[in-house]
């Protein structure tokens, strides 16, 4: 188990390094940097000025060195302007002697956002907190509902209940968030239908606190897309378990149908959905970006779109690190959980 | 002429779709008549779910084909008096109606929805097919040979899979990165796979008949290569290989980029599926028999393993077209790649969502259209799965 864990974590770190490097290269391509220089100095500067600006702020060195600096394993650049030294780790007017040599993300130095004019860490924590709340409610709605649908559908394969619930699950997986979100807003909050049950925007949820009125639609929109998928997985796993020998034995022994499902089948039927639910997190990330944009909820996804749309290099890099981290950690947890939950693998 | 109510709007829309209804009826009549001699396709007509799904998919396919006849107005012409007008409003000239109303620029929502189907029906199946060729060409040897090759390829596939899709799109489709030609270079690599696949397919089969093989492989390389060059080369961009006179297949740059990024996102998943199935089939007796006969590895992979993996692959192909449709919509929803004027469903939803509470019709109809197509593909896949499991 320990060797398996170490190997998984090693692969995970390697993946994280590769991915952050790719994102770093793609966000630091020369057109992006040129755009950055122009947004700092004004759009009408000459190519010479752009070049000297890039050289002054350490953007002209090899990509690997810059990646090392950003990561915090290479010493930060130092430059000077009219006799005043400054650098990556040295704010203008600081003391060169006391400045740290390395300042990358490993040292907790995530840089400055150019769109929000604030340190990246401050923005990111606040946004992640908001998205965390959203995710919590999504999970609280999605997991019980989808497991219930899956178990009910899988109890008796081919029954009317099974057909209805399966069709429902197919329909929800066929409805991406930007479609269901639009439909919900039109039905539940527009003046066209007239049912003004919920708010069509969640902007107030971030500032005035969360209410059922302003938060239900975004949560439902994200959850719905996942419900179908998890329910189908649960159903498949449940039908498989229900045909197993030990269930037949339990039935023949005279165990009541309720106990067969609750005590014997459920435990084994839930191993596969657990993995699926964990692997669903990266998907939720997708949904979060769409739904936060649609409902104007200023969380992590909304920030990612802002950063990517406005060439905010440091913020976009930080967002990618978080996204990649979430994906990799959930993969790890699902692997460990699968091994832990499944006695056949655990013991061998 | 006056504005018309919901009932006659519905009636007129159904009438506009007349060519589609006729084609659907003919397709179904012919297919059901000859279903016993049509293999898996014919068996589809034994399952209700599969038939419903097939009908929904074919509805949009025929709509895309007859889009010019079905649409009532030009998709780009704007009539300023028609801004955000409800469905059934008569145009100022009094000659016709905006059947599903006007959007925020005064364009006809119905015509845009109809013509928008064309973009999806053109890109989604083709992109999915390319992704399958890439996934199969890489996935088969990875599982068959195993070892270091498998480790490296799986690592790379997992790398792409660990990327959040939207971030990847933002990184690939922004104008700055398009200017560097990166998506085109990726296209150079990805579009090579179909040719590679076909060459290997033919070569492994007719290896014993060198003369016949040489002719066929030569033809594939010549024709495929020319298509390849015409497809990837784009005058006045980073990749301009063919001179303009020979570049007969001019795909607009942004469509090509959307295509490449969709193929890129889908390929690793296909790779994983193919790899998983191959790992399972590799242990079967008929594979050992072929190995003992002394067949070459590529023959075994492509002519022994692949045909036996077709069931799950066909089902996944249908599901994946639906997923690609969703991805295309996502790109449009974030205004990436396709031009904002383009009538594709994602872009239309994006344009309409800002005024959703005041005028819902510009966004809701393309949304329902997209949903019905993806639902149709899902039901079709479900029907196919059920029927292919029966035997």
Residues B164, B265: Cα–Cα separation, whole Å: 10
- Contact between B357 and A200 using a beta-carbon 8 Å cutoff: yes
- Which pLDDT tens digit goes with each residue over A270-296? 877 777 777 777 778 888 899 999 888
Q: Of the candidates B330, B356, B382, which has its C-beta nearest A290's C-beta?
A: B330
Mean local confidence (pLDDT), A166-183: 90
Nearest to A308 among B170, B180, B360 (CB): B170
pLDDT > 90: percent of chain B: 35
Q: Is the pLDDT of residue A343 over 70?
A: no
Q: In which band, very low, low, confident or very high, does the pLDDT at A345 lie, cut at 50, 70 and 90?
A: low
Whether the per-residue pLDDT at B52 is higher than 90: the answer is yes
Reply yes or no on whether the pLDDT at A88 is more than 90.
no
Measured distance CA(B120)–CA(B110) in Å, rounded: 16
Whether the pLDDT of residue A40 is over 90: the answer is: no
- Whether the CB-CB separation of B270 and B321 falls below 8 Å is answered with no
pLDDT digits (tens, 9 = 90+) for B164-175: 888 888 888 877
pLDDT tops 90 at residue B77: no
For an interface test with A, which of B155, B237, B356, B383 has the most A Cβ atoms less than 10 Å from its Cβ?
Answer: B356
- Which of the four pLDDT bands, split at 50, 70 and 90, describes residue A156? confident
pLDDT score, position B328? 92
Q: What is the pTM of this model?
A: 0.89
Say yes or no to pLDDT of B136 above 90: yes
Lowest pLDDT segment from A4-8, B22-26, B55-59, B325-329: A4-8
For domain A120-347, the CATH architecture is Orthogonal Bundle (1.10)
Cα(B385)–Cα(B43) distance, integer angstroms: 11
What value does the mean pLDDT take over residues A98-126? 83
DSSP conformation class of B236: T
State yes or no: pLDDT of A211 exceeds 70: yes
Using 50, 70 and 90 to split pLDDT, how confident is the model at B245? low
Task: List where CATH 1.10.3720.10 sits in chain A.
Answer: 120-347
Give how far A335 is from chain B: nearest CA, Å. Answer: 14
Domain coordinates in residue numbering, chain B: 118-325
Place of tokens 């007796």: B285
pLDDT at A347 over 70: no
Residue B382 has pLDDT above 80, yes or no: yes
Percent of chain A at pLDDT exceeding 90: 11
Question: According to the model, what pLDDT value does residue A60 have?
Answer: 81
Q: Answer yes or no: do B363 and A173 touch at CB < 8 A.
A: no
One DSSP character per residue, A169-196 reads HHHHHTS-HHHHHHHHHHHHH-TTT---
User: Is residue A214 within 8 angstroms of chain B, CB to CB?
Assistant: no
Q: What is the predicted pLDDT for the residue at A303?
A: 92
Average pLDDT over residues B310-318: 89
> Are residues B370 and A282, on separate chains, in Cβ contact within 8 Å?
no
Per-residue model confidence (pLDDT) at position A194 = 67
Q: What's residue B36's pLDDT?
A: 84
Tens-digit pLDDT profile for residues A254-274 = 888 888 888 888 878 887 777
Q: Give me the residues of B, 352-381, that contact A with CB < 8 A.
A: 352-353, 356-361, 363-364, 367-368, 370-371, 374-375, 377-379
Angle at A317 between CA A315 and CA A319, to 5 degrees: 70
Q: What is the mean pLDDT of chain A?
A: 83
Query: What percentage of chain A exceeds 70 in pLDDT?
Result: 95
pLDDT at B284 over 80: yes
User: In the predicted model, what is the mean pLDDT of residues B113-124?
Assistant: 90
Which chain A residues contact residue B155 at CB under 8 A?
Answer: 11, 14-15
Per-residue model confidence as pLDDT tens digits over B334-361: 888 777 788 889 899 988 888 887 788 8
Query: Across chain B, what does the average pLDDT equal?
Result: 86
- Which tokens go with B13? 């829309």
Q: What is the spatial distance between Cα B126 and Cα B120, in angstroms, rounded to a whole number?
A: 10
Q: Which of B73, B61, B173 is nearest to B126 (CA)?
A: B61
Provide mean pLDDT across the span B68-94: 81
Count interface pairs A-B at CB distance under 8 A. 133
> Which positions in chain B touch A285 (Cβ < 8 Å)?
164
């Amino acid at each position: 188990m320990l060797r398996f864990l170490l190997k998984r974590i090693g692969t995970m770190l390697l993946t994280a390094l590769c991915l952050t490097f790719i994102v770093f290269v793609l966000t630091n391509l020369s057109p992006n940097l040129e755009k950055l220089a122009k947004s700092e100095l004004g759009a009408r500067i000459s190519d010479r000025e752009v070049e000297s600006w890039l050289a002054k702020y350490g953007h002209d060195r090899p990509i690997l060195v810059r990646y090392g600096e950003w990561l915090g394993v290479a010493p930060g650049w130092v430059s000077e302007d009219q006799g005043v030294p400054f650098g990556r780790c040295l704010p203008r007017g600081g003391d060169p002697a006391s400045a740290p040599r390395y300042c990358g993300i490993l040292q907790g130095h995530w840089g400055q956002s150019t769109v929000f004019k604030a340190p990246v860490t401050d923005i990111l924590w606040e946004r992640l907190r908001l998205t965390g709340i959203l995710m919590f409610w999504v999970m609280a709605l999605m997991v019980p509902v989808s497991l219930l649908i899956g178990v009910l559908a899988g109890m008796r394969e081919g029954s009317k209940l099974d057909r209805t619930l399966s069709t429902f699950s197919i329909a929800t997986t066929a409805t991406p968030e930007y479609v269901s979100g639009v439909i919900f807003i039109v039905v539940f909050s527009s003046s066209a239908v007239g049912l003004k049950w919920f708010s069509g925007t969640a902007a107030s949820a971030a500032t005035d606190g969360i209410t059922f009125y302003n938060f239900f639609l975004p949560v439902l929109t994200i959850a719905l897309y996942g419900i179908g998928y998890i329910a189908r997985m649960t159903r498949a796993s449940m039908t498989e378990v229900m045909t197993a020998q030990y269930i037949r034995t339990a039935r023949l022994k005279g165990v009541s149908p309720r106990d067969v499902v609750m005590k014997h089948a459920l435990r084994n039927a839930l191993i596969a959905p657990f993995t699926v639910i964990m692997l669903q997190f990266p998907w939720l990330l997708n949904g979060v970006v769409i739904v936060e944009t649609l409902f104007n909820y200023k969380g992590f996804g909304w920030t990612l779109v802002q950063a990517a749309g406005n060439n905010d290099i440091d913020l976009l890099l930080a967002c990618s690190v978080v996204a990649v981290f979430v994906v990799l950690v959930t993969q790890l947890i699902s692997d460990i959980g699968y091994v832990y939950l499944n006695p056949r693998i655990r013991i061998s | 002429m006056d504005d018309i109510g919901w009932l006659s709007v519905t009636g007129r829309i159904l009438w506009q779709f007349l060519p589609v209804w006729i084609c659907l009826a003919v397709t179904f009549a012919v297919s059901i008549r000859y279903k016993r001699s049509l293999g898996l396709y014919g068996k589809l007509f034994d399952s209700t779910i599969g038939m419903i799904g097939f009908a929904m998919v074919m509805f949009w396919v025929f709509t895309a084909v007859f889009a010019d006849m079905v649409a009532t107005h030009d998709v780009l012409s704007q009539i300023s008096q028609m801004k955000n007008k409800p469905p059934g409003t008569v145009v100022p000239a009094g000659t016709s109606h905006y059947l599903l109303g006007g959007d925020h620029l005064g364009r006809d929502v119905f015509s845009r929805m109809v013509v928008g189907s064309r973009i999806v029906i053109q890109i989604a199946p083709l992109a999915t097919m390319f992704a399958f060729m890439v996934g199969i060409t890489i996935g088969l040897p990875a599982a068959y040979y195993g070892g270091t090759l498998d480790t490296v390829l799986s690592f790379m596939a997992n790398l792409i899979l660990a990327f959040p899709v939207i971030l990847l799109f933002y990184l690939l489709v922004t104008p700055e990165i398009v200017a560097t030609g990166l998506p085109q270079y990726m296209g150079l690599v990805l579009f090579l796979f179909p040719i590679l696949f076909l060459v290997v397919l033919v070569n492994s089969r007719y290896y014993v008949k060198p003369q016949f093989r040489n002719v066929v492989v030569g033809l594939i390389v010549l024709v495929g290569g020319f298509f390849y060059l015409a497809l990837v080369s784009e005058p006045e961009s980073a990749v301009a290989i063919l001179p303009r006179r020979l570049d007969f297949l001019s795909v607009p740059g942004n469509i090509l980029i959307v295509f490449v990024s969709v193929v890129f996102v889908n390929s690793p998943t296909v790779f994983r599926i193919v790899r998983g199935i191959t790992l399972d089939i590799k242990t079967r007796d008929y594979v050992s028999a072929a190995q003992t006969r002394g067949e070459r590895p590529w023959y075994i992979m492509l002519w022994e393993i692949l045909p036996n993996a077709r069931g799950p692959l066909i089902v996944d192909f249908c599901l994946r077209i639906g997923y690609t449709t969703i991805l295309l919509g996502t790109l449009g929803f974030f205004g990436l790649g396709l031009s904002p004027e383009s009538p594709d469903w994602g872009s239309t939803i994006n344009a309409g969502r800002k005024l959703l509470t005041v005028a819902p019709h510009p966004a809701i109809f393309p949304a329902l259209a997209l949903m019905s197509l993806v639902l149709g593909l899902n039901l079709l896949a479900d029907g196919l799965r059920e029927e292919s499991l029966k035997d």
